[in-house]
Structure 1
Amino acid sequence: MDAEEWDQRYADQELVWSAEPNQFVAAECADLPPGRAVDLAAGEGRNAIWLARRGWQVTAVDFSRVALDKGRRLAGGTEVDWVRADAITWHGEGFDLAVVAYLQLPEVERRAAARGAVEALRPGGTFLWVAHDSSNIEDGSGGPQDPAVLMTAADVVGDVEDLGVEVQRAERVARVVAPGGDHRMGDTGEIAWDCLVRAVRV
């Protein structure tokens, strides 16, 4: 989907994603000392806002103007720098944390986005990638049904391992979802499978 299609999707629904942060982003970032963070493909800003409320100086990047406008409203008085840009071509530097959550792209574009995120980090900065896992089509609930935009943790590690990173975690993780398999937490017992990569730039 291009920016215009995402604009329409965000305009058609009150919230496309949950207002709460992704459970893996919250768990992996909870103990990190606040610094400068970038949330790439931030959407409506649920992770960016959560980080900002925990003391981070956050830049939220997305190519959808509608999503960013909704994020500003959701943030209320919470300060976030909302930047309209494509995660594939965006460049930054000096960040302590780069979060990329559910950016589902074909391999070439995924690699560009992942490398851009790592290259935006200062030494010691944390790279966190969460996405729908390739196995989710057969084994899980919801998510994209196009194998070309799914991936494994090993795929993402392969995208960035030559940039000087220390991989701390790279695995498939289970997420309980509401009916329909969206990003909201549920108690129905339906499982979605995600891939998670956490690494530190050395």
Structure 2
Amino acid sequence: MDAQAWDERYAASELVWSREPNRLVAAELADLPPGTAVDLGAGEGRNAIWLASHGWSATAVDFSQVALDKGARLAEGLDVTWVCADATTWQPPAPVDLVVVAYLQLPAADRRRAVRNAVTMLRPGGTFLLVAHDSTNLTEGTGGPQDPAVLMTAADVVDDLSGLDVEVVRAERVDRAVTTAEAHRGEDRRTARDCLVRVVRR
């Protein structure tokens, strides 16, 4: 989907994603001391807003201005900068302490460009965290894109970072419980398969 298609999707509903941060992002980053952060492919900025509410100076980057405008209204009073730009090429004016990439589902070549670009934003000692729909979610999980070309594994992402001076802290498939409302059966609990990669730039 291009920026216009995403603008239309974001304009069609009050919120496409929840107001709460992704639970894996929140759990993984809860103990990091606040600093400067970039949320790449931020959408409506739920992770950037969460970071800012925990003392971070956050920048939310997305190519949908409609999504960013919605996020800015939700983040009133918080330290979030909203930037309409391509997540695969945009760079901050100075190195940052943290880059989050959550569910930026791109074909392999674009994904590689995005994650390598993300890591180069970091100061030495900075953290890169990626959470995405895992390739196995297509057959073993629930929800998410149904196009295998935009799915990935943790090993794919680590391979994308080859040649960069990073320490891999965590790279694995993780399960995420999903609760959906079924019209006749009440709540239906299912499992989504995600990949999670956390590295530190040396």
Q: Is the contact between residue 56 and residue 79 of structure 2 (CA under 8 Å) also seen in structure 1?
A: no
Post-superposition shift, 1:161? 3.0
**Structure with greater strand share of residues:** 2
Unaligned ranges ≥5, structure 2 = 182-186
| Partner SS for 1:51 | helix
Post-superposition shift, 1:162? 1.4
| Partner SS for 2:131 | strand
Displaced runs of 4 or more, over 3 A: none
Q: Quote the Cα distance in structure 2 between the aligned partners of 1:133 and 1:112.
A: 18
2:171 corresponding residue in structure 1:
170
Whether 1:129 and 2:130 are equivalent positions in the alignment is yes
Q: Is the contact between residue 180 and residue 189 of structure 2 (CA under 8 Å) also seen in structure 1?
A: no
1:76 corresponding residue in structure 2:
76
2:63 corresponding residue in structure 1:
63
Q: Quote the Cα distance in structure 2 between the aligned partners of 1:169 and 1:188.
A: 30
TM alignment of 1:81-160, pairs within 5 A: 81-92=81-92, 93-160=94-161
2:33 corresponding residue in structure 1:
33
Deviations 1:80-131 (A, max 9, x none): 0000101011123411000000000000000000001000000000000000
Q: Quote the Cα distance in structure 1 between the aligned partners of 2:155 and 2:188.
A: 29
Number of residue equivalences: 196
1:184 corresponding residue in structure 2:
none
| AA in 2 matched with 1:70 | K
For the pair shown, the structure with the greater C-alpha radius of gyration is: 2
TM alignment of 1:179-190, pairs within 5 A: 179=180, 188-190=188-190
2:195 corresponding residue in structure 1:
195
Q: Quote the Cα distance in structure 1 between the aligned partners of 2:21 and 2:194.
A: 15
| AA in 2 matched with 1:152 | T
Post-superposition shift, 1:78? 1.2
Post-superposition shift, 1:76? 2.0
CA RMSD of aligned residues (A): 1.0
Whether 1:20 and 2:26 are equivalent positions in the alignment is no
